[in-house]
Structure 1
Amino acid sequence: MYKVISSCEADANYPQTLEVSCGELVFVVDKTNDPWFLVTKQSGAVGYVLNSSITACDQSSKVINTSIDEAIAKIHESAKNGRLSEEQTALLSKLKDHRKSLKENQPIKTKQKAPQPIKIEEPSFEPIKIEQPVSEPIKIPENLGRELVKRVVEGRTRLTENEANHLIADILNNVAANIPQISHVLVEIVSTLPVMDSDPQIKNLELAFANLIEIKNDAQQRSWAVHDDESTIIEILNTILTTLSSDGARYSEILSHNDNEALMALVEYYQMEPRVKLRLVMLQIFGAICVVSRNFISTLLASVLPTELVREIYDHADVQRVSYASLVLSLIFSTGEPVPVGFYDTIGADFIRFLLNHVESGSDFDDIFVRLILAMNLHYITPHDNPTMGVMGGQTCTTFSEKVMLLINRGDDPVAITEHTTPPHSVLKFLQDIFSRVDTGRNFFYTNDLLVLIDIIIRNISDLPPGATARTEFLDLLLNLLHKSTYSELKHRNQEISEILTRISSEELPQDGGKESIVEFDKNIVEKIFVDF
C-alpha cells in the first residue's frame, strides 16, 4: 500500500492519468512504466500517477483487498454494452492476480503453546483417505447469451432484442461487481451475448424515431408551430425514409416495438403537422412502410390516417400532394380487409362520387383515382350494399368504363402494388360487382364496350388452363354478365361460348387435389350457365 505525499491532478491530454490528494492511500497495480505507476484508489478509481508522488506504507490486507474489489467493480460498471475492452481485460487480470497473491501470502496466526497433555496410549488406526474431486472449469455454452435474449423478448416484456441484450448485460455486470468471486463466470456469459449494434442504421433509425416522438410530444404542448425547426425535422424524416426504403423488412421490429409505438407516433404527427413539406415526406414514409409488411397496413387501416388522407384529397388541388395521399390510401385499402364502421361517414358514396367526377372531367388525377376506387371496392362484399355500385348506377361513367376496359384487356391490376395483395384481382372484382346488379349491369357499358368485354372474357376462358383460379373468376364473370346485362338481346359469339363451355364440362379432373376442386367448381358454373341459358 502506498501513501500520496504530493497531490497530482489528472492531465487532460492523457485521460489515463489519475487525480490523487496528499495523504490518500493507493494500491500499486503495475510498476513497469517507470516513472508512472498504475494505481487504484480505495474508491476503486484506476489510473497512472508519478512514482515520486507516493511512498510505501504498511496497511492491513483487508484494506488492500477492499481497494482491489472496488477497482474490479468499477471496471465492470464502465464496460460498454457489457463488453470489456482489451485494456480493461488486462487490468482486470492484474487486479485478480494481486488479490490472489495477497491471499496466498497472508501470514498464519500463531497461538501460545498449551501444556503438554498426559499421553494415553490409544490403539492406532490408519486414517481414511478421502479423495477430493478435482473441480473442472465451468463451461459456458456459446449460445447461452442468445437464448437469454430470446427468453426475455418472448416473455411479454415489450423489449426489443437490442434492449433485452443491454438489460441482461447490465444485470450480469452489476452482479459481477458485487460478487467478485463469480465475476469471471458472469463476464464469460456476457461475452456470449449477440452483438446487436453492428448495424449503425438500426441506431440511426431508433434515434430518428425517438427524436420524432419528442418533437411530436413537444408540438402537442404548444398551440403554434416553430417554423425554425423545419429543416431539422425534414432531416429526421429523410433519415427514416432512406433507411426504410433501402431494406424496410430489416427494421420492421423498430416499427412494431411496443404496440407499433413508432408507427403510431408518425400517424399522430402527420395528423397535427400542417406544413406541406413535412407532410409530403411523411406520405412517402407511409408508402415505404406499407411495402414492408401487411401487418403495418392493417394497423394503418385501423388508425385515423385514412380519414386524414381523405381530407387531404378533398381539400387540396396540388398534384404531388393529392397523388401521394391517393397512393398511400390505395395501399392501405389494397388488402380488402374490413374497414371500421365509422369510416363509412367519411369514405362512402360522397367521396366515391367526388373521385368519379374528377375521372370523368379528365383531371390530372384520373388514373390515380381509378386505382383508388378499385382499391376501395375490394372492401365491400355484398354488391347491393356497395356504395361504389350505388354511385356507378346513378351517373354516366364513360371515361371510367373505358379505363376499366383497358385494364381488363391488358390483365393489369393497378391495386396490386405490393406483394401483400392477396384478395381477388381488383378489376375482375369490380366487373363481377357491376354485373351483380341490373342497374349497373345494363347501364355501365355502352353496347360496343360490352361486346369487346365479352371477347376478352372468351379469350381468357379459352386460354387459361384447367385449375387456374383466374379461369374460375372469368367464368363467374360470364355467368353474371349473361344474367344482368343485355346479352340476351345481343347473343354475341353465342356458338363459340357454347363450344368452350362444352369442352370445359367434359374435362377430366386433375390428380392434384387443389386443382381438382377448382376444376369441379368450374364445371358447376358451366352447368348453371347451360341450365339458365
Structure 2
Amino acid sequence: MLRSLYAYKGTHARTLGFQVGDKFMEIGPSRDPNWLHVINERGSVGYVPKNYISADEGYVRGQPCQQEDPAQESEAPPIDILEFIDGCIEAIHLNASERGGNYTRGEHDALHKLVELRQDWYSKCPPSSHPTKRPAPPPPQRTTSQLSVDSVGSLPSPCLPGTPRSPSISASGSSISLGPPPKEATPTESSAETTTSFMARGESLVRDESSGSSEGHDTSIGYESEMRSDVDSVVQTSIKSLLSQVPKEYLRTLVEEVRSSTSISYTTSHQVVEVVLNSLATALPVLQPLCLHILSSKGDQVDGGADKWQQSSDGRRLVELLEKLRECKDDEQQRSWALHEDEHTITTHLSDLLDLLNTGDLMVCRSVLSLDDFRPLLTLVQYYQMETRWPLRKLLLQVFGAVCQMSAANISYLSASVFPVELTRELLDSTYDQERLRYTSLVLGMVLCMGDTLPYPHFCVMNENFMNVLLDGIEQYHEDPDTEQLAELYLAIVLAFNLQYTTLPPSAVNPPKSCETTEEGEGGVKSQANGDLEENKDATKTAMGADSENIIIKLLSKRENTKYFTEKLLLLFNREEDPLAMFDHEPRPPHSVLKMMRDMYSTRATASIFYTNDECVLCDIIIRQLSDLPADDKRRNEYLHLMEGVIVAGRWTEHQHRRKELCSSCANILAEEEPAAVDDQKIISSLMESQPYFFHV
C-alpha cells in the first residue's frame, strides 16, 4: 500500500493527479524507475512520481509485511488492504458502466491484477487475520435499521473506500477495532458520488444477508464470487453490443495487420489469427461470441467485387509491381543499351513479384491478374518475348510457374497465348544448356497440364519435328543421372500434348463400308472420300481406336527405340502416378498415363512396342484395379476400355495371361446391380460378343 506525501497534478494522459494522503497500490512494473504504475481508490490506473509517494506503514506492493510482534497481525491493517482492493474493483465497474459497459484494456488488466492480489493476500495472511465465519443471519422480517451490533459484525469484512467503517469484531469477540476516521480521505465531487453508490450497494448486501442460508460461510469468498459474476455479466452485455459494430471484413483486417507486422505469408497469418481467436474463445468463454463472429466474417471473399483488391495491401503492391514491369517493357531506349543497366532494377521487381505471388493473398492475386481480360498476364508474356537475358527470363519462368499454380483460368489464358510457342522454340534450340532446358520444359508442362485446347496455329510449331526432339531426348537423357530429370520433364510434355487428342472407342476398328479414309500429308491427317473400298484398304487399317490425327501415336508406331519411354510409362501406370497432377485445379483433366496407355493399345503398331512380359504386368495391374475399384469410380471404366484394347490389339489372345481371374472379374461386374455399373457392363458384354471363345463366364 502506498500513500501520497504531496499533492500532484497529472501533466500527461498516463499520469494520475492526487492530493496529500491519497492511497495507491502498485499493480505492475514500470520501465522508468522514477515512476510507479499504480491504481488509486477511484479505480484509475496510471503512473505517479516515485518521490511523491511513500510506503504506507506495514505494507509493500499490497502484501502484508512480516511484523516482529505477532499480536499485531490481527489488527486493522490486514483488513484495510482487502477494503482497498474491493473498493478499486467496484470503482472500475462503476466507471465502465457509466461508459455503457465498455472496459478499456487497462481496466481489464487492472481487474485481473486486483483479483490475483486479493487471492494472494488471502492465501498468505496468517489464519488469525482471515475474516471470521459469521453466525446465522437474523430472521427475514428484520430491516436494516433494526440490526444489532452483532449483526453488523457479521457483514462482509471489506469496507468500501470513502465511507465510515462499521465496528469490526475480532475472532475472540472481546476487542473492537475501528478503521481510520473519514477525515483522512479527501474525496472530491466524483468520489462522493462513488461513495453514495457504494453505500447503496452495502444496504443491498444487508438485505440479501437477512434472507440467506443459516449455514456459516466465508464472506470474502462469497464477495469475490459475486465480483467475478458481475464482471462476466457486464462483459457479456458489452460483447453483445459490440457484435453489431464489428466490420464485415474485420478478419481480413486482422490478417493484414499480422502480415504487415511479421512479414510472413498470408496463409500463415490467417492461421495465426484463427489460432489466437479460437484460443481466446476457449480460455475466456465470455469472449466466445465475439471470437466466433469475427471468424465467421467472410472477409477473404474478394471475388465478389471487381475493386475489392484495392482494399488489400497485397493487391495494391501487385498492381504497383506490374506497372513498373510494364514501364520497363516499354522503355525501348533502356532495352537498347549494351550495358543493360536496368538489369538490377528489373531483377528486384521480378523477385518482389515472385515473393508476392507465393506468399500473398491468393484471392487478391487472382483478382488482379484477371483485370481487363488478363491484361497483366499478357504484359508478362510480351515482356518474356522481348527479354533476351537468361537471368531475367529465368525469373520470369518462375513467375509463370507461380501464376499457373494460382488458378486454372490463368493456365487456360497462357495456353491460348503465344507463350507455349515461345517455349517450344526454346526447346528446339539445341545450343541451350541443361538448366535452361529444365526450366523451359517444366513451365511448358505446367501450361499444357490441364489439357486445354490449343489454337490451331500452335501446331505449326508444335509439330512432328518437336515431338521427335522430345522422344529422342527421353531415350538419350535418361542414360546420364545428371540429365535424367530432363528426360522425365520431356515425358511429361509428351503426355500433356497427348491430351490434345481424343481416344476413339475400340468399336471403331472397322470403319463403315459407305465411307473410307485416305491418308494425306506427313501429319497423318485423314480425310473421308467415296470410292473403291479396295483402293483404300491399307488406309483403313491404320485407324483403330485412336484419333487419326494423333501425331504421337503415329511417331511411336514408326520408332525403333522406345525402351525407356515404355518402361517409364509402365512404372507410372503401376504406381497410379500422373506427372501432370501438379495442381488441384478443377475440373480435373484425364489421367495422362492411363490415356496414353489406351491410345497405344488402340493400334496394333503401337501395342506391339510392349514386350510380352510388359503386357503380362499390364494385365496384372488391370485385374487388380477391376477387383478394387467400386462401380461409381470412373477409372474402372477406363481400365475396362484398356482391357479391351489389350485383348483386341495386343498379344493377349496368344498368351492369355490370368484368363480365369480376368473372366472372374468381368463376371463380378456383370452381377452388380448398381446403376453406375451399367456402362461397365456394356463394355464387357460387347467384348464377350466379339470374343466368345475366351470368355466362358
TM-score (norm 1): 0.60
Q: How far apart are the structure 2 equivalents of 1:498 and 1:407?
A: 26
What residue is the counterpart of 2:633 in the other structure? 468
Distance in 1, Cα, partners of 2:365 & 2:339:
30
CA deviations on 1:122-149 (whole Å, 9 max, x unpaired) are: xxxxxxxxxxxxxxxxxxxx99x99xxx
Match of 2:300 in 1: none
Unaligned runs of 5+ in 2: 1-244, 250-306, 504-545, 692-697
Paired letter, 2:556:
M
| Number of equivalent positions | 338
Alignment of 1:384-423 (within 5 A): 384-395=548-559, 396-420=561-585, 422-423=588-589
Partner of 2:440: 325
CA contact (8 A) 2:309 2:316 kept: no
SS at match of 2:457: helix
**Is the counterpart of residue 454 in structure 1 residue 568 in structure 2?**
no
| 2:322 equivalent to 1:201 | no
* Cα distance in 2 between the residues matched to 1:221 and 1:391: 46
1:244 offset after TM fit, Å?
A: 0.7
Counterpart in 2 of 1:84? none
Q: Pick one of 394, 398, 401 that aligns with 1:287.
A: 401
Sequence identity, in percent? Answer: 36
Report the Cα distance in structure 1 between the residues aligned to 2:640 and 2:578, rounded to whole angstroms. 18
Q: Please state how far the C-alpha of 1:446 moved relative to its aligned partner.
A: 1.2
Q: CA deviation at 1:206?
A: 1.1
Q: Distance in 1 between matches of 2:333 and 2:363?
A: 31
5 Å-filtered alignment, 1:81-230, equals 199-219=312-332, 223-224=336-337, 227-230=340-343
Matched, 1:235 2:348: yes
Aligned partner (choices 458, 478, 498) of residue 663 of structure 2: 498
The separation in 2 between residues aligned to 1:403 and 1:438, in whole angstroms, is 20
The whole-number CA distance in structure 1 between the counterparts of 2:338 and 2:656 is 66
> Matches of 1:344 and 1:221 in 2, distance apart?
35
Name the CA distance, whole Å, in 2 between partners of 1:281 and 1:502: 56
Partner residue in 1 for 2:454: 339
Contact map agreement 2:309 2:364 (CA 8 A) in 1: no
- Is 1:532 aligned with 2:690? yes
* Corresponding residue of 1:366: 487
> Which residue of structure 2 aligns with residue 72 of structure 1?
none
| CA shift in 2, pair 1:278/1:195, >3 Å | closer
AA of the residue aligned to 2:644: L
Structure 2 CA distance for aligned equivalents of residues 476 and 433 of structure 1: 10
Q: Secondary structure at the match of 2:570?
A: helix
Match of 1:337, SS? coil
Q: What's the RMSD between the two structures over aligned residues? A: 2.4
The letter of the residue matching 1:231 is H
Counterpart for residue 271 of structure 1: 385
SS at match of 1:359: helix
Question: Superposed, which structure 2 residues align to 1:253-272 within 5 Å?
Answer: 253-272=367-386
Paired with 2:682 and 2:323, the residues of 1 have a C-alpha distance of: 58
The one-letter code of the counterpart of 2:578 is: D
Change (3 A) 1:237 1:225: farther
What is the deviation of 1:362?
3.0
Instruction: Determine the structure 2 residue equivalent to 1:123.
Output: none
**Per the alignment, do residues 195 and 307 of structure 1 end up closer, same or farther by CA in structure 2, a change over 3 Å counting?**
closer
The equivalent of 2:192 in structure 1 is: none
Deviations 1:450-484 (A, max 9, x none): 11111111111111112111111111111111111
Give the drift of 1:260: 1.2
Aligned to 2:168: none
Residue identity opposite 1:524 in structure 2: K
Structure 1 counterpart of 2:296: none
Shift in Å at residue 219 of structure 1?
Answer: 3.0
Match 1:441 to one of 589, 602, 607: 607
Q: Which residue of 2 aligns with 1:5?
A: none
Give CA-to-partner distance per residue, 1:242-270, whole Å, 9 cap, x none.
Answer: 11112443311111111212110000000
Q: How far apart are residue 223 of structure 1 and its match?
A: 4.4
8 Å Cα contact 1:458/1:497 also seen in 2: yes
Q: 1:195 to 1:309 in 2, by over 3 A?
A: closer
> How far is 1:437 from its partner?
1.4
Say which SS state the counterpart of residue 581 (structure 2) adopts. coil
Q: Is the 8 A contact 1:460 1:471 kept in 2?
A: yes
Residue 309 of structure 2 contacts residue 315 of structure 2 at CA under 8 Å; is this kept in 1?
A: no
Range that drifts further, 251-260 or 313-322 = 313-322
Structure-2-length-normalised TM-score: 0.47
2:312, 2:364 within 8 Å by CA — same for their partners in 1?
no
Note the alpha carbon deviations across 1:207-239, whole angstroms, 9 max, x for none.
Answer: 110000011111389645551111110110011
Q: For residues 330 and 485 of structure 1, what CA distance do their matches in structure 2 show? A: 30
Distance in 1, matches of 2:472 and 2:385, equals 27
Residues 355-402 of structure 1: per-residue CA shift (max 9 Å, x gap): 111111134111111111111111111522101111111112110100
Question: Is residue 201–residue 243 contact of structure 1 (8 Å, CA) maintained in 2?
Answer: yes
**Residues 441 and 484 in structure 1, CA contact (< 8 A), matched pair in contact too:** yes
Any conservation in 2 of the 1:249–1:293 contact (CA below 8 Å)? Answer: no
1:378 aligned partner, one-letter code: L
Alpha-carbon distance in 2 for matches of 1:389, 1:424: 18
Contact 2:438 2:489 in 1 (8 A): yes
Partner Cα separation in structure 1 for residue 447 and residue 366 of structure 2: 17
Q: Tell me by how many angstroms 1:488 deviates.
A: 1.1
1:306 aligned partner, one-letter code = P
CA distance in 2, matches of 1:230, 1:308: 22
Letter in 2 for 1:313: L
The aligned counterpart of 1:523 is 681
Q: Considering only CA atoms, is the larger Rg found in Structure 1 or Structure 2?
A: 2
Aligned partners of 1:224, 1:309: CA distance in 2, in Å? Answer: 26
Which contiguous aligned blocks of 4+ residues in structure 1 show a shift greater than 6 angstroms?
A: none
Take 1:349 and 1:220, find their aligned partners in 2: how far apart are those partners?
Answer: 40
Structure 1 counterpart of 2:470, from 326, 340, 355:
355
Q: Tell me, what secondary structure is at the counterpart of 1:385?
A: coil
Secondary structure at the counterpart of residue 236 of structure 1: helix
Name the CA distance, whole Å, in 2 between partners of 1:471 and 1:532.
Answer: 21
Equivalent AA in structure 2 for residue 236 of structure 1: H
Deviations 1:395-414 (A, max 9, x none): 12110100001101101011
One-letter amino acid of the structure 2 residue matched with residue 307 of structure 1: V
Q: For residue 449 of structure 2, what is the amino acid of its counterpart?
A: S
Letter in 2 for 1:379: Q
